[in-house]
Every structure is written in C-alpha cells, then in structure tokens.
Chains A and B, each alone.
Chain A
Amino acid sequence: MSIPENNSAINRRAFLRAAGVCAGCSLMPFGPKPPLPQFVTSAFADEPTNPPQLHIAEFYKSLEGLEIECELCPRKCAVGDRERGFCGVRENRNGKYYTLVYGNPCSTNIDQIEKKPFFHYKPGSMAFSLATAGCNLNCKFCQNWQISQFRPEQIRSFQLSPSQVAQLAQSNSCDSIAYTYSEPTIFYEYMCDCAVEGNRRNVKSALVTAGYIQKEPMQKLIPYLAAVKVDLKAFTEKYYADICNAELAPVLETLKLLKSSGIWFEIVYLMVPTLNDDPADIRRMCQWIGAELGPDVPVHFTRFHPEYLLKNLPSTPIKSLEIAYNIALEEKLNFPYIGNVYGHKGENTYCPGCKSEIVSRNGFQILKFDIDNRRCKKCGQTIPGIWT
C-alpha cells in the first residue's frame, strides 16, 4: 500500500514550532500540579482525625522470622511484618501484633436495647453503643459497611478511653455498653477494658457479634459480659462462604460455648429473600438450636432491607418471616420473634406455660410487661432472661 506524495512540504518554522509544542507537552505531566480540591481528595475516604494508636494485641503466636499468626478469629491470618490481618485493624510490626483501634471508636450512639435486638435483657433500657472501623467478615448486606469495610485510617474516629466510655454511658443513664455496628471481635482488647470499666460503675456490657471468634478469646471475654447477641447468618456453609466470606462451623461452636458458660444470649437470623429463606434450612436450624442450645434461646427472625451489595433484593416479605416463626414454634422453641416489622404480633413475648402475652412491644418500645421476679404474672412460669 503506497502513500501518495504530499504537496505541502513543511518549512523550518513549522517544524520548530511543532517540536517546541511536543517538548512542552511532554513536560506537562511533570509540571506543578494544581492542588486537588478537598472534596476530590477525600471523596473516597474520610480524613482521619487521629492517627491510629498502637496497643499490643492479644491472641497471636510468632511464626518463622517476623511473621505471626493471629489467633483471635477462625480466619487465623498469617501476617508478615508491616502487614495486617483480614480485618484491617491489627498489624504486625517487627514481629509484634498491635491493634490500631484501641480507644478509637468511630461511632457512638444511645440506642434502646431492643434495637440490638435484645428482648430478654433489661427491656426498655438504653445502651451506650460503640464501634470501631473494620470487620473480620465481609457480609454483602452489611448495614454499616461504611465503617466495617474500611481501615481505621480511612475513616474519622475519635479518642475515647475505656473509662470515658463507662463514664459517658453512666451519665446518659445507659444500663449497658453495647459493642455493636461493626464486629466487636476486632476491637477485642478495647472491648474488654471498656467492660471492666463499665462493671466498676455498674454499667453492664452487651456484645453484639457474628460469633466468628476463636474459643479461647471468647472464653476469656464471657466473664466480663452480661449478654450476647449472635448473628447466625444462615444455616449453610455455602451462604457463609458466598455472602459473608466466613464459615458456619465456628459460629455454631461459639453458640455451644455460650450455652455451656451460662451467659444470657439471643440469636438473630436475618432473612434475606431467595438466599437464606428456605423453610427446610430454617427447620434444620431450629432443630439444631432446640437440641444443642435448648428451647429457651430467643430466636429473632428479622426483616432484611436492601443494603450495600444486595440492593437488588427487595425487603423480606412478612409472610416469609411468619413461616420461619411458625417453624420455630413447631420445633418447640419457646421464644421466636419477628423483627424489623413494627406492630407485628411476632414482636411480643408469650408465656410458654399459659400462652398469654406477657411482654407487648411496638418496635423498640415496651407497651405491657407482665413479668414479675422472672415469672409470668398469670401462671407463674419462669421466663428466662435478665429482666431488671
């Protein structure tokens, strides 16, 4: 293929001009850059208000060289020097493992304890809730993904020592400190110290967890706590692997441990349409709970709302929640609940003895409370829980 002759020959001036332009262009990327507006530089991640504070972490063992293995959660991350575990908040520095979120919560609030939800633990009381950045799971439906899926330096946090936490909880008339929103396992050391400080001021601690934690740290933590709520995400390993990037078996072990320790605990099952609402799975789960944990463990079937990466699924139909509720009753569980549906009768507590409504709720509010000294006022049946 030939190129035809060009009849417009270039002159020297044009050549020099073009060469000059080329040289100028090639320098442009290296020239002074205009400062990026703040909304651009921080559009992705927030400006951290505090640099991460180093606090020596518990539960790890040294491997060869400077590598360590985290023993806090079943993930057992092998972490090289200057690297972090899956949670993004625990870092190996020269063979020592540190937590970066000790004393640095990113979120605090005062919530009704029913919001957690705890229905058999100090009903109607308030909980001082706190969370730090990071999580050891990656749930596609996370409601708090803006904090749970980020590292501490990527979001804004503030300094709050354990004693200050306890003091704030007390001064705001909160009966409990709730470790919630993200996964508290990842700020284990901070949680322990807050619980100790809280207990000194008679402010109890309530843990809201996915239960994806090793046995030893959980055992050590339980004495500091008054109640635990475990998110049982599903009853299949596939769901845990696909939707939560975790495993079911360790969570079940945690539940068994809680049962054996005698601490008060409740289970929440978030029903996601088409993913974990199979009645057969729910029946298997209820059977397992009845057999391994006993019939008195409250099980909350809560309604899913589209969030994070599952915004393409609609809210759980109330009918599905009612099916699960009825399955739990059929499997002889005494305290199934329906959650996130205001005004539904499944929010109420019914006495397993006389079947009467003993606690009437509307959302987070208690409308009727017919329990006296842990017993049904009508028939005297013992109602398990921590009621005062």
Chain B
Amino acid sequence: MRTDHPRHLDLSAGRNTTSDAIILGVCSLAAQAVFLRMILSSQPGGELYAALALGGWIGWVAVGSFIGKSLSPALRERIWLLSAIIKLPLACIITIYPGLFQQMMDPVRFLPMALIGMAGPGMLYGILFSLLAKLRGRTSAIYKFEAAGSFIGGIAVTVWVFLGLSGFGLLIILAFVEISIYWRRAAVTVAAIAAGAIAALILSSQFDRAMTSFRWRNFQVSRIAHGHTGDWIVLSDQGQSSLVRAGTIIASYPDRPASEEALLWPLLYKPESKSMLLIGYEGIQTAPFLPPGLDITNLYSDPAYIEILADSAGRSIYDDPLNFRPQRKYDIVAVQLHGAATLYDYRLETSLFFERCRQLMDDDGILYINAPFDENYSSDNLNRYIARLEATLKSIFPDIAVIPGPNAGFVCGVGAGVDIPSDVLAARLDTLGIVSPYFNGPLIANRLLPFKKEQVERSLNSVESNTNDVFRPISVLQYLQWQGSRFGKTAGIFKVYQMPYILLFIPLMILIPVLFGRWTQLKPGPLLVLANFGFMGMAFEIVNLYLFQIILGSLYLHIGMILAVFMAGMALGSMYVARHRILSLFAISILAFCILLIPLMLDSQIDLRWTGFLMYISSLFSGFLTGGGFAAIANRYQDGAGPWLYGIDLLGGLIAALFVPGLVISVGTFFVFYTLIFMYTMNYATLTFEKY
C-alpha cells in the first residue's frame, strides 16, 4: 500500500522521476499528435484549426501545471491511471463531434471540440509534470527528460502513421503503458506494451468502425483507410459510393458524366490510343465505358487510396508523380488537378512536371489536363490559376486547345495538331463505339461554342499569366483563406484588413506577464522573457506545421516527427543551459536569425527531401531556443517557482496559438518572419533588462 510518507518519496524519487518524466514525454507527445491528427482529419481545411488545437492542448497543460502545484506528489499514480482511462473516450468524442452538426463547422463551433478533446490528457499531463518537478526539486531536469521522452513518442507516432494504422490503436497501447506505471517495474511495463499491442490489434479497427459509423450514422460506412495525406472513408448507399476525406465528400461514384468528361475528351483527340496514364484521378470511375483493349495505368500519391479502391480499371501504382519513371511510354497522359491545396500538388502544375509528362508520352501522344474551372463565374484566383497553367503548358507544348465547361480541359500535343472542330470530334465517338446518354454530339458542340471559348479567353486575359517554373509556397494559404471565407464573418479574422486586431498579441504579451508577476510576486522582467520564449516556440511550431503542409503536403504524416524534433531541440536546449548555466545573448541572436533564414531558403529548393531536412533543422533550433530559454530563466529562481514558470511559458504559447494562424493565413509567411524577427529582438532586449 502506498502512502504519502516522506521516506517512501525519498527512496524512490530520483529513479522514479526520471523514468516517469521519460514516459510522460512519450505518452504526452504521442497522445498530443494522435489527438491533433484526429482533429485535423475531422474537418475540411483542418490545418485552419491546427493552432487552435495546439493552443487547447498547451492551455490545459498550463492549467494542469497550476493545479499540480497544490497537490501531493503521492497522487501521481492515480493521475496516471486516470490519464489511461480517459483518452479513448475523448478520442471517441473527437471522432463523432462533427457528426453532431449537419453542416460543416465554423471555427467557433470547432473551438469547443479542440478544448474538450485536449482537456483531459493535457491537464493531467500538466499536473504530472508539476508533481514530478516538485518531487525531483529541479524543474529543468524534468523538462529535459520529458523532452527526451517526447522525441521517442514522436518517432513512435510517425512510424504508426506511416504504417497506416488507426490512432485508436496507439491510444490503447499508451493506456496500457500508463496503467503499468502503477506497479513501477520494468518487466510490467514491457508486458504492458506487448499486451497493449495485442489489444490494439484486436480493438482499434472495432473502435474505428464504430465511431466512424456513429459519425456518419445516416449512411453506411463501407471502408476506412488511414493514409499519408489523411483519412479516407467510403460511404455506400444503394449502389452509390461517396469518398470522404477530412469530413468532406470529395467524390461520388458512379458519377458517369464527370468520369466521361474526364476520360473521353482525351480519347477523342487521339482515338487510336492504346495506352493511357491517369494521374490524380481519384473518384473517377474508369471501367465501364472505356474502349476494350485500352491499357490503363492509375498513379496515386497516397497508398490508402489504392487500398479503398476496388472498381478502377487497369493497374494502380503508388508513387510520386513528379518522380515516376516507368520503362515505357504512353499515348495519353491525363492529369486531374485539384487546385493545388498543397505544394506537393502544386509541383504538378510546374513546367518541370509538364516536361516530365512530355517524356512519358509517345512522340505523337497528347497530354490532357482536367483543371478546376467554373464556367458560370470564374474568380480572379481561378483565372490566375488557369492562366498560369495555360502559360506553363505553352512553354512546353506547341499546340494547346482549351475545352470550356464545368472543368477546364487543356489538350496539349507535340506532333499532331489539337485544333479539331467539334463535328470531327463528335464523329470520332462513332469510330470509338462510344454511346453515351451524356457525352455525345450535342454536348461536344455546346462545350465548344464560340461564345464559351471567347468567355474563357476573356477570363485568361483578365489576369497576368506567368510561367510556373518556380515554387511559391503560398497556395495552401490561399486554400485556407478560401476555407475561412465560406464561414463569412466568423472567419473574418483571416482577412488582411483585420491585421490591427491580430497585432493585439503584442500588448497582450507585455500585459500578461506583468499581471502574472503581480499575482505570483515574481519579477515581471524574467516572466516577460519566458512568455516570449513560449510565444516564439509555439509560433515557430505553427509556422513549421503550415510549412510542412505547404511544402510536403503531408502534415498528417509528419506531425509526430515535427513535434518530436521540436521536443528534441527543447531537450538539447535544456541540457545546454544546465551545463553552461546561462544561454548567452549572442547565441540567442545568432540562432534566431539562423532559424529565420532557413524557411526563406525553401523558396529556391526543389528537392523535397532537402527542404524537409531544412524544416526539421528549423524545428530543432526553435525547440532548442524554447527549451534553453525556459531552463535559463528557471535556473534563476528557487525551486518552488517551477510550475509558475511553466505556466507563463505555456501562456505565451497559448497567445501564439490564438494569433499566429491569423498572421500566417492572412498575409503569408513573409509577415510571420517579420513578426518573429520583431519578437526575437524583443526577447534579446528583455533578456538584457531581466538582469536588473
């Protein structure tokens, strides 16, 4: 039986706190990443909410840290137990919450989910941190070991996601590990991991299906897959299927008209084709109406899509389209573009990609691009997008024809001309033996009406068009603005002219530490520095999250590693300061500018592995600064101040979580760098004043 007797605590404190801190790091980061990924996957434009969810997490950790200050360390086993119990129910709430609304949630409705979902584990981990710090007597040591554990947790999550496993499974394992702490034996922990893995194997898919079915309770869930770019669900109803990603129906099939438009146009321009390469044709039904004998290859960028796809004709391959190097060539290369929500997709709109498409084509082959367009109203953004696409295609292909319609079709040829009259195209339907109630002569004639062609020309000429041969990681921000714009006033914060309100964070960053100092009777100067470190750490984390989504297009895959590398940086920073006692001002300024320069270099990089590496380095450095800064300030106080310091650090982070997305999404990364420079210099200055 365990008691609060001091002798018991004295005997086990050192060993227990170290292992507890490491396990705390593993569990908290893994749980945080799983919850975050679940929240991001629950809604379209989930990235819009990434910072809110992160803010919810650290806000609750701060609350927990304060609560833990007044609790007895002997309670920690019970808190571990509670933490083990509540995670799965909370994950269930996150999964089903969006299903309670019949329309997509705006940020205001989303906020309760972020707060409730993150509340339990975040607060309990905060309490545990506080108790361990109290027991150990040195906050920075706990901070260091927790960060080291977090790195392990991040790697675990990344491997888990890469294998396409459900988040429920990982939460089950974490629950077993946390329960095992109650016995405090290494053998029990190892056995718990094994038992957890078996339980996860058996139960995770059951949880997954039960919760997904409840969320989509009016529809029948037929398949679920966890991919590198998000979660995919197939809803089936009376012979119809809907493909769901991020809580949004992205395709319904069979949708024969859409499929026919996407596939038959290129065939009409090259009716004698024997082979066809389809890139990005998710949700397109290929089997029923293509001529027999046509060899089809489907190329997908997420392996999960192949897993859930059962009725696509031809072979399906998982590869990066930009680096796809088959041994053969194709008569037709058809590309479905989705408006480049990420730079990963955006690369498929560059001259580099079109040049590679040309290499994949036979000498007289054609490239067909099915691009988003709206013939009723084409916005400036859309016009700019289409015009840039046309200009880029023209830089590679001598002949281009545009097909107006709900989507804009670009037909590009090298050898044969592509300016073919509508009646000739219509006649080729008979040659191909295609009889369709939808895709027929009148439709072809209507699509190619001179009035419609002129309209498209007008749209293309209404904006500047540049050849797209460089990367500009802005498209995802436009995408997020667009997501926000659908909710009208609620998301008005993402408008550029709301900037004065967003800049409110600057006075808040000064006011809060001052008030906090008066409340806790600590000197406000160091608190200001610490809040700044918290703010900077979170700001960099958010910028990194967005950059990963922009550059690599798979925040969902990398989220564990982003957080892990950041935490590793924190551990290193903490250890550095523990050894050298103080982080010099010179080191801070040099590191800060190094971090700021790294993302700016991304614009000129084209190899995603290299850019990914740079972003990890950026994440590591920002973690180093945050961890080092915290330890440097913590060293100056007596031991009892730890939870307060942790609290103000997290409050700074919370302010960043609330305001930085507004900056990033509204005006792009440039202004964020500007702001970060400003904040770092403030840090520099406040650290100087802190010495008084």
Residue of B whose beta carbon sits closest to that of A49: B462
Residue of A15, A109, A362 touching B455 (CB-CB under 8 A): A109
Q: Is B98 interfacial (CB-CB < 8 Å)?
A: yes
Q: Is A314 interfacial (CB-CB < 8 Å)?
A: yes
Residue of B104, B488, B668 touching A310 (CB-CB under 8 A): B104
Q: Which residues of A53-70 have CB atoms within 8 Å of chain B's CB atoms?
A: none
Q: Are A306 and B376 in contact (CB under 8 A)?
A: no
Residue of A whose beta carbon sits closest to that of B381: A43
Supposing A1-B520, A36-B496 touch, asked if A311 and B640 sit within 8 A by C-beta, the answer is no
Residue of A4, A308, A317 touching B238 (CB-CB under 8 A): A317
Residue in B248, B446, B477, B640 whose Cβ sees the most chain A Cβ within 10 Å: B446
Q: Is A334 interfacial (CB-CB < 8 Å)?
A: no
Determine the chain B residues whose CB is within 8 A of the CB of A8 once the complex forms.
582, 691
CA distance A335 to B503 in the complex (A): 60
Determine the chain B residues whose CB is within 8 A of the CB of A319 once the complex forms.
237-238
Q: Are A1 and B641 in contact (CB under 8 A)?
A: yes
Q: Is B256 interfacial (CB-CB < 8 Å)?
A: yes
Q: Mark A127-151, 1 if CB is under 8 A from B, else 0.
A: 0010100000000100011110100
Q: Are A28 and B678 in contact (CB under 8 A)?
A: yes
Which applies to chain B's interface (DSSP): helix, strand, loop or mixed?
A: mixed
Q: Are A314 and B219 in contact (CB under 8 A)?
A: yes
Q: Is A34 interfacial (CB-CB < 8 Å)?
A: yes
Q: Is B636 interfacial (CB-CB < 8 Å)?
A: yes
Q: Are B379 and A313 in contact (CB under 8 A)?
A: no
Interface size on B, residues (CB 8 A): 77
Q: Is B688 interfacial (CB-CB < 8 Å)?
A: yes
Q: Mark A350-388, 1 if CB is under 8 A from B, else 0.
A: 000000000000111100000000000000000000000
CA distance A371 to B442 in the complex (A): 22
Q: Is B692 interfacial (CB-CB < 8 Å)?
A: yes
Q: Are A342 and B242 in contact (CB under 8 A)?
A: no
Q: Are A41 and B496 in contact (CB under 8 A)?
A: yes
Q: Are B377 and A318 in contact (CB under 8 A)?
A: no
Q: Which residues of B326-368 have CB atoms within 8 Å of chain A's CB atoms?
A: none
Q: Mark A223-263, 1 if CB is under 8 A from B, else 0.
A: 00000000000000000000100000000000000000000
Q: Are B440 and A365 in contact (CB under 8 A)?
A: yes
Determine the chain A residues whose CB is within 8 A of the CB of B451 once the complex forms.
110, 172
Determine the chain B residues whose CB is within 8 A of the CB of A315 once the complex forms.
240, 242, 249, 252
Q: Mark B452-494, 1 if CB is under 8 A from A, else 0.
A: 1001000000101000000000100110011001111000001
Q: Are B522 and A1 in contact (CB under 8 A)?
A: yes
Residue of B whose beta carbon sits closest to that of A18: B688
Q: Is A291 interfacial (CB-CB < 8 Å)?
A: no
Q: Is A343 interfacial (CB-CB < 8 Å)?
A: yes
Q: Is B684 interfacial (CB-CB < 8 Å)?
A: yes
Closest Cβ of chain A to B617, distance in Å, is: 26
Q: Are A2 and B681 in contact (CB under 8 A)?
A: no
CA distance A38 to B380 in the complex (A): 11
CA distance A367 to B477 in the complex (A): 47
Q: Are B462 and A3 in contact (CB under 8 A)?
A: no
Q: Is A116 interfacial (CB-CB < 8 Å)?
A: no
Determine the chain B residues whose CB is within 8 A of the CB of A25 once the complex forms.
678, 681-682, 685
Q: Are A312 and B98 in contact (CB under 8 A)?
A: yes
Interface size on A, residues (CB 8 A): 73
Q: Are B438 and A147 in contact (CB under 8 A)?
A: no
Closest Cβ of chain B to A149, distance in Å, is: 7
Q: Mark B396-437, 1 if CB is under 8 A from A, else 0.
A: 000000000000000000000000000000000000000001
Q: Is B558 interfacial (CB-CB < 8 Å)?
A: no
Q: Are A140 and B442 in contact (CB under 8 A)?
A: no
Q: Mark A1-24, 1 if CB is under 8 A from B, else 0.
A: 111101011100011011101101
Supposing A107-B376, A109-B455, A274-B102 touch, asked if A40 and B668 sit within 8 A by C-beta, the answer is yes
Q: Is B247 interfacial (CB-CB < 8 Å)?
A: yes
CA distance A274 to B103 in the complex (A): 11
Q: Which residues of B496-532 have CB atoms within 8 Å of chain A's CB atoms?
A: 496, 503, 506, 520-523, 526
CA distance A246 to B451 in the complex (A): 36
Q: Is B638 interfacial (CB-CB < 8 Å)?
A: yes
Supposing A21-B684, A145-B486 touch, asked if A310 and B103 sit within 8 A by C-beta, the answer is yes
Determine the chain B residues whose CB is within 8 A of the CB of A110 once the complex forms.
446, 449, 451-452
Closest Cβ of chain A to B9, distance in Å, is: 23
Q: Are B102 and A109 in contact (CB under 8 A)?
A: no
Determine the chain A residues whose CB is within 8 A of the CB of B238 once the complex forms.
317-319
Determine the chain B residues whose CB is within 8 A of the CB of A330 once the complex forms.
none
Q: Are B474 and A40 in contact (CB under 8 A)?
A: yes
Closest Cβ of chain B to A302, distance in Å, is: 14
Q: Is B288 interfacial (CB-CB < 8 Å)?
A: no
Supposing A1-B520, A15-B688, A342-B438 touch, asked if A131 and B376 sit within 8 A by C-beta, the answer is yes
Q: Are B380 and A156 in contact (CB under 8 A)?
A: yes
Residue of A1, A3, A9 touching B640 (CB-CB under 8 A): A1
Closest Cβ of chain A to B464, distance in Å, is: 8
Q: List 5 A-B contacts (CB under 8 A).
A: A44-B495, A147-B377, A156-B380, A342-B438, A363-B257
Known: A18-B685, A146-B377. 14 other contacts (CB 8 A): A3-B522, A4-B638, A25-B682, A40-B496, A42-B380, A46-B380, A155-B379, A156-B380, A243-B103, A309-B103, A315-B240, A342-B256, A363-B257, A365-B443
